Amino acid sequence: MTSGDIAAAATFYGSGERFATLDEIVDAARETLPADVWDFLAGGAGDESTLRANREAFGRWTFVPRVMSGADVPSTRTSFLGVDLSMPVLTAPFGADALFHPEGQRAVARANEAEGVASIVPEAGSHSLEEVRAAAPAAAMIAQLHPMGPEDNFRAMIARAAECGYHALCVTVDCPTGGWRERNLRNRFAPDPAIITGNYRAAGSPEPQAVFGQLFDRTEPVWSWDRLAGALADSPLPWLAKGILTGADAESAVAAGAAGILVSNHGGRQLDGAPAALDQLPEVVRAVAGRARVALDSGIRRGADVAKALALGADVVVIGRLAAHGLAAAGEAGVRRVHQLIRAELGTVLTLLGRGGVRELDESAVRRSPS
């Protein structure tokens, strides 16, 4: 280690920050939250096999460093769906956000604005699309929608997102009903409905819980790609299909007009036994063949994971639990620190890989582990 390395390390590690690692943020969140809320955040569906598989998948890939490459100081900057980003990271549309901090997605949006990261703002959030936009007027924002229930509601949400300056839509296609989450069942977890009905209070409904409940009415038929394409035909905003795990579904999404594909198993919270999202990423990238941008969520826990996802074909990653951990640990400052630590580790990995930026990451940077 050179004297310059030692000085740089001393500056980073001795900066006096409350959190030096992402694991410390996770630990602080666990200590802060009530046990049943922690289980709601940390748990998955069924036996949680898919939850575990998401992490195991990253361990099956090793890096292939290129030494003495002469690469410049690496850049983490990129863009996605027309939005400039300081690094290839978006925050996921995790709802019930006031469970983790009273400011919820408003605090996430402010942190993202400060750090140059985009928010995917949930439909089932504690605060409305308008309230989150007002909290961070210059932030890059994508509005989440569920293609369920009455089409009038779906179209109204599109109009609201466009009117208050959202850049795109994220249509969650893998959630026609909630997953079988046994931690929540065991805990008899029944939070106040107000934490997921912020958008319906804002819409002036006298019974926001009932209106939101229409989305998950199992007597209604599950939407089809054709119905979704029709409902989005007049949208002024590009849209991203969230919850894709196969090349066939990626093809269908692109045919329906999707500008982006989010490879995701909902963080292991929907169908237990579904494959790890990272394992499915190459198949989806091949199917899309450059016709849409590709994002990945489910299992991202550190900056090195971001690099592996990009090397396997993702344009950006989406973090849910990590952002929620930061929110629970220290509100807006906690989310900002999550981003800072991801960016710092990603920059270190790029340097050690001999790449000058995230745009230089491709399949040559990783290798499938033989074990």
The secondary structure of 77-109 as a DSSP string is -EEETTEEESSSEEE-----GGGT-TTHHHHHH
DSSP state of 363: G
Distance, C-alpha 94 to centroid of its chain: 8
Nearest alpha carbon to residue 293 among 170, 128, 164: 170
Using DSSP, state whether 172 is helix, strand or coil.
strand
∠ CA 81-82-83, rounded to 5°: 95
Binding-site members for FMN are 93-95, 144, 172, 242, 264, 297-301, 320-321
Percent helix, strand and coil across the chain, each rounded to 5? Answer: 50, 15, 40
Whole-angstrom distance, CA of residue 265 vs CA of residue 174: 8
Binding-site members for glyoxylate are 181, 266, 269
Residue 325 is a catalytic residue: no
Binding-site members are 93-95, 144, 172, 181, 242, 264, 266, 269, 297-301, 320-321
Residues with Cβ within 8 Å of 140's Cβ and at least 6 positions away in sequence, in order, are 83, 84, 85, 112, 117, 118, 119, 167
Specify whether the CB–CB gap between 41 and 183 falls below 8 A: no
Q: Which of 127, 266, 325, 339 is catalytic?
A: 266
Specify whether the CB–CB gap between 87 and 346 falls below 8 A: yes
Two structure tokens written together for 123: 């439909």
Whole-angstrom distance, CA of residue 99 vs CA of residue 77: 32
DSSP state of 299: S
Specify whether the CB–CB gap between 296 and 339 falls below 8 A: no
Two structure tokens written together for 23: 């694991």
Q: What are phi and psi of 164, to 5 degrees?
A: -100, 20
Query: How far lies 103's CA from each of 72, 187, 293, in Å?
Result: 40, 25, 31
Q: What are phi and psi of 191, to 5 degrees?
A: -70, 165
Give catalytic residues, as residue numbers: 266
